[in-house]
Amino acid sequence: MRAHNRLLFRLARSIVRNDSHAEDVVQSAYLAAYSKLNTVSDPTKLRSWLSRITVNEAIDLTRREKRNAALPEGWQDGVPVPSAPPLARELISGETPETNTTRRELRQLLEDAIDELPPVLRSVLVLRDVEGLSASEVAACLGLGEVAVRVRLFRARARMRKWLGARFESHAHIAFEFAGERCDRIVARTLSSLVAAEVKRQN
């Protein structure tokens, strides 16, 4: 999980556009993958396999959110739920207050600009420029051809430059930063769910 957490979180985040929901998607993807581990015939393709599961989980969540949007406020699937508190942004440690603030503002600007991209461009850009995967790796993760990846990346970068200018490419890697605390949280939640499911199965 620790080897793939950041990639899967950023991929999920590029689809659901919400940090908390992206964490939920990654956990759901791991649980789904765990139940299908015996179907993995080639361990070298584990990353792209996990990525495809994450994409499917993120799309499912997005569809559920759209359905719930038609319900009265405070209801979900016909059941009242408490309102979620605003999501607090994590601070970046190890910097002076001034550089910390500047970096955080730049990161927020980047994330806002990425969120404005159409979904078909957003995921490609996040995997290629934020996560740093090669075109072939992005193609494998998203089930696309490499030509399609390059075309979408070109269009996404063009839109980002329109927003941010040349600063984007040199700072893209800081968007949707994946802190150690978030990684630990996803691992702990996933392992807890797996243990609970195993105990239930044995009983």
Other CB atoms within 10 Å distance of the CB of residue 111: 19
pLDDT of residue 198: 79
Instruction: Quick: pLDDT tens for 63-93.
Output: 887 766 554 444 444 444 433 333 333 333 4
* Ranges of each domain in the chain: 5-69+97-202
- Please state which CATH number belongs to domain 5-69+97-202: 1.20.140.160
- Residue 99's pLDDT is what? 60
Higher pLDDT, 198 or 168: 198
> Do 32 and 57 touch, CB atoms closer than 8 A?
yes
pLDDT of residue 183: 81
- Closest by CA to 27, choosing from 162, 198, 189, 173, is 189
**Per-residue pLDDT tens for 115-154?**
888 888 999 998 898 888 899 999 988 989 999 999 999 9
Q: Evaluate if residue 36 carries a pLDDT over 70.
A: yes
Residue 75 DSSP SS3: strand
> To 10 degrees, what angle do helices 46-69 and 19-34 make?
130
Pick the more confident residue, 192 or 95.
Answer: 192
